[in-house]
A and B are shown apart, each in its own frame.
Chain A
């Protein structure tokens, strides 16, 4: 079936460093890839997304890259801040339907 693998499961960085989270998807028909940030006890918040006709997208300190051939996409956070600490989820939109298939999440800790 469709699945999304996400690595690493935990990531610890010093404030100011960069953080990279990687995902691989299985459904070659997937065409939309959002990233969500979820703080403890809160809703998932969409932080950036990318469509399959684009290879890279950037929004201030956050960027996402997509390699359709390899079925990989990655989240890059530069100049990390303590408030970036949260669980980050990648997802892919199933080709046939609108449902999102989520990765297992990455717990990011940014230490001052």
Chain B
């Protein structure tokens, strides 16, 4: 498609439950990025993919967060055993190539942990 598509728009989970978010990048884009935006608006980089390969995972909390980009499927970000501090908007972005290329963002998934 012409836009990055994220689902669901809003996800509510009880503390300790699992949360799974999905992202379909723009068609033809090779790179996918996940960012977390917390209440103070700050963006935190989580992970990036080049096609189905992890490119940079330096921002990922190792213990509970995982992500995948499989061929012919939306990319996913999964959080096990959610905590209150995981409440945030999770944005996915995609870009055509590496280097100095624009990253286009999806509408985000608002994750609320109760």
Specify whether A and B are partners: yes
Residues of A within 8 A of B (CB): 31-32, 34, 36, 38, 42-46, 49, 51-52, 87, 89, 91, 93, 97-102, 104-105
With an 8 Å Cβ cutoff, the count of chain B residues facing the other chain is 26
Inter-subunit contact B56/A98 (CB<8 Å): yes
Within 8 A of A (CB), among B64-114: 91, 95, 98-108
In the complex, which residues of chain A have a beta carbon less than 8 angstroms from the beta carbon of B45? 99-101
Inter-subunit contact A34/B55 (CB<8 Å): no
Inter-subunit contact B33/A93 (CB<8 Å): no
Inter-subunit contact B102/A104 (CB<8 Å): no
Residues of B within 8 A of A (CB): 31, 33, 35, 40-43, 45, 48, 55-56, 58-59, 91, 95, 98-108
In the complex, which residues of chain B have a beta carbon less than 8 angstroms from the beta carbon of A51? 100
Inter-subunit contact B105/A43 (CB<8 Å): yes
Inter-subunit contact B42/A98 (CB<8 Å): no
CB pairs A–B below 8 angstroms (28 shown): A31-B100, A32-B100, A36-B105, A43-B91, A43-B105, A44-B91, A44-B105, A46-B104, A52-B100, A89-B41, A91-B43, A97-B48, A97-B56, A98-B31, A98-B33, A98-B48, A98-B55, A98-B98, A98-B103, A99-B45, A99-B59, A100-B35, A100-B43, A100-B103, A102-B43, A104-B41, A104-B42, A105-B42
